[in-house]
C-alpha cells in the first residue's frame, strides 16, 4: 500500500481509518485484475486509477456522511457505488443499491461485495426499469452515465422531498444545466471537484418537471 495515497485520502475524508484504506486498496487490486477481461474503466485512465477514480468518488461521501440509504445508477466497475459501500462499512450503518445492466460487470461488483463484506446489493437491470423496492433513497448517485437531461428523467421517480442527487459532471456542466433549465426546476449546490478543478459535483434537491403542470393546463 502507498502512504502517499493514504495521505491524499485523508485530505478528502478526514479521520479515515487504515482499515478503510486497506479495503480501497483491495478494490483497486481487483479492478486491475479484472480489467484485462472486462472493460471496467477506460484503459487510458488505468495508470492513474487511484486519483481519477477512487479519490474522485471518495469525495462524494463527506457531502452526505449521515445518509444511510444510497442508490447508484449505472454502477459499471463500481464508481462510485463500491467506494461509497466501503465508507458505509467503516461507518457501521447504511446500505447502497447498485444498478448495473451488464452481466459481467454485475459479476465483478458482486465479487467485490463478497470479498470485502460490503453493505451493498447489486441489481442486474436497466435503469429504466421499475425497481420499487429501492424508491426514495437518501442519496442517488451517477457518474459517467449519460447527459444531465437523461439523468434527471431517470431519477425523478426515485426522489422524495428529502432525496439528494449527487451527479458528477465534467467541464461542460454549464451547457448541460442550460439545456435542462426549461424543463426542470430544482435546488442546486455546485461543488468544485477536489480532484479535478474542471469537474463538479451537482447536488440536486426538490426536482420538479416544469412541463407537467403546463401540459395539463394545455389539455384543459
Residue ranges of domains in the chain = 3-219
- Asked if 86 and 112 touch (Cβ cutoff 8 Å), the reply is no
> What number is the average pLDDT over the span 140-148?
89
d(CA 127, CA 17): 33
Which residues face 141 on adjacent strands? 72, 166
Give the CATH class of 3-219: alpha beta
**Chain segment 112-137, per-residue pLDDT in tens:** 999 999 999 999 988 776 655 666 89
pLDDT surpassing 80 at residue 214: no
Q: How far is CA 49 from the centre of its chain?
A: 16
153, 190, 195, 214 from 119: Cα distances, Å: 27, 28, 26, 42
Please identify which residue in the block is written with the cell numbers 435546488: 187
> What number is the average pLDDT over the span 195-201?
91
pLDDT for position 220? 42
> What number is the average pLDDT over the span 35-42?
94
Q: Tell me which of 203 and 161 has the higher pLDDT.
A: 203
d(CA 17, CA 43): 29
> What number is the average pLDDT over the span 63-70?
96
pLDDT for position 213? 58
Pairing of strands 139-143, 164-169: parallel
Amino acid at each position: 500500500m502507498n502512504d502517499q495515497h493514504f495521505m491524499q485520502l485523508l485530505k478528502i475524508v478526514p479521520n479515515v481509518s487504515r482499515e478503510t484504506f486497506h479495503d480501497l486498496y483491495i478494490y483497486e487490486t481487483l479492478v486491475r485484475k479484472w480489467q484485462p477481461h472486462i472493460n471496467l474503466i477506460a484503459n487510458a485512465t488505468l495508470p492513474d486509477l487511484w486519483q481519477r477514480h477512487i479519490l474522485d468518488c471518495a469525495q462524494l461521501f463527506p457531502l452526505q456522511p449521515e445518509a444511510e440509504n444510497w442508490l447508484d445508477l449505472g454502477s459499471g466497475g463500481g464508481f462510485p457505488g463500491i467506494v461509497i459501500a466501503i465508507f458505509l462499512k467503516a461507518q457501521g450503518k447504511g446500505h447502497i443499491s447498485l444498478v448495473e445492466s451488464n452481466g459481467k460487470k454485475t459479476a465483478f461488483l458482486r465479487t467485490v461485495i463478497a470479498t470485502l463484506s460490503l453493505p451493498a446489493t447489486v441489481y442486474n437491470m436497466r435503469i429504466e426499469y421499475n425497481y420499487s423496492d429501492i424508491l426514495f433513497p437518501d442519496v442517488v448517485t451517477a457518474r459517467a452515465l449519460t447527459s444531465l437531461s437523461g439523468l434527471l428523467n431517470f431519477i425523478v421517480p426515485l426522489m422524495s422531498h428529502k432525496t439528494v442527487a449527487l451527479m458528477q459532471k465534467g467541464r461542460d456542466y454549464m451547457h448541460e444545466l442550460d439545456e435542462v433549465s426549461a424543463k426542470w426546476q430544482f435546488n442546486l449546490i455546485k461543488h468544485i471537484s477536489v480532484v479535478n478543478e474542471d469537474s463538479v459535483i451537482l447536488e440536486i434537491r426538490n426536482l420538479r418537471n416544469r412541463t407537467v403542470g403546463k401540459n395539463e393546463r394545455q389539455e384543459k
